[in-house]
Amino acid sequence: MKTELRAASVAFAASVLVGCHNPSAPAQPSAADPAKHPTATTVSVADGVTLTAEQIEKLGLRTAILKPADFGEEAVGYGTVIPHEAIAQSAAELVTAEATERQSRAALQRTQRLSGTAGALSADVAEGAARQAAVDAAALTLARQRLSATYGQKPPWTNGANPALLNSLADGRTQLVRVTFPLGALPAAAPQTLRGARIGAARGSRWKMSTIWAAPADANVPGRSFFALLREGDAGEGERIVVWASLGDRQTGVVIPRAAVLINDSKYWCYRQQQPGRFVRTEIDTDKPFDDGYFVTEGVTAGDAIVTQGAAQLLAQESNTGADAD
């Protein structure tokens, strides 16, 4: 009896083992085998990351088309928009001095023409006219010197030139900006153009300023000072602004948005969409920061589609450290 039970037990165990190793049982696909999982991510460090449309949607990837941009080395200074009331007062003093000087000079010339004729004026009157002309000429010179002491030696309206510009500044249609740059920030020559913006404003909202001339030194801020005309800006009078002066030729490139930039292995990267569903990690240079990103000239070009949302998920897929996209 014991022999029969032992035999039956051996037979049952053998049948169990045979069932567990049945070669006709279908093999279960491996999750790591992309050939048996058509929707799995194909990861290649050299070739990039390939995703299906479903995976792209699940990862929440978003792209943006890069637009051309330009960049040049610039010096940064600070400026103040001069209230037009101060300019108006100086302009009025100059106009008054010029009118008075013209009148007294005309009176002196009339006296000199009548000298030796039947209608000649007395010597006292002639001397008085000459004295008044000299006084008024000195007053005009003083008014001009005051103006130059305040607004520089070579303003665009020197010696009565361009009175329309002075009137435009006096009534506020054109704004005058006084700018100071740190010592050593600019080359010897004065800048040809300046760009200004409100403190904290985005880079794209800069105002262009022109007609630049040297200004008297600012006793409160060491550096080189200039005056510049702001014709098309909305700066408030007395407002302090940031001003940039170009230091050389400008370069053409693109701006990579900050949201598209990630750090890996102590380097900066972005993901470029090489073709639909394929994303390639590209190293970029971040030495030229903008307010909203980084200006680059290599690796990507205008018209490229850059991942602006989900770049970290792509890096995880590429590094095989994140969860499967599906």
Distance (Å, rounded) from C-alpha 252 to C-alpha 296?
9
Query: pLDDT at residue 3 above 60?
Result: no
pLDDT at 144: 84
Q: How confident is the model at residue 204 (pLDDT cuts 50, 70, 90)?
A: low
Distance (Å, rounded) from C-alpha 174 to C-alpha 167?
9
Q: Coil, helix or strand for 187?
A: coil
Q: How confident is the model at residue 189 (pLDDT cuts 50, 70, 90)?
A: confident
Query: pLDDT at residue 81 above 90?
Result: yes
Could you identify the residue written with the tokens 């909305």? 234
Is 5 or 152 the better-scoring residue by pLDDT? 152
DSSP H/E element including 168: helix 163-170
The packing angle between helices 123-151 and 84-114, to 10°, is 160
pLDDT digits (tens, 9 = 90+) for 91-115: 888 889 989 999 999 988 888 887 7
Nearest-Å Rg of the Cα atoms of the chain is 40
Residues in the chain: 326
Q: Coil, helix or strand for 154?
A: coil
Segment 288-306 shows an average pLDDT of: 89
Could you identify the residue written with the tokens 């941009």? 69
Could you identify the residue written with the tokens 């491996």? 30
Is 105 or 292 the better-scoring residue by pLDDT? 105
The DSSP letter of residue 249 is: P
pTM over 0.85: no
Distance (Å, rounded) from C-alpha 240 to C-alpha 174?
17
pLDDT at 21: 36
Q: Which amino acid is at 229?
A: L
Neighbours of 215 (CB within 10 A): 21
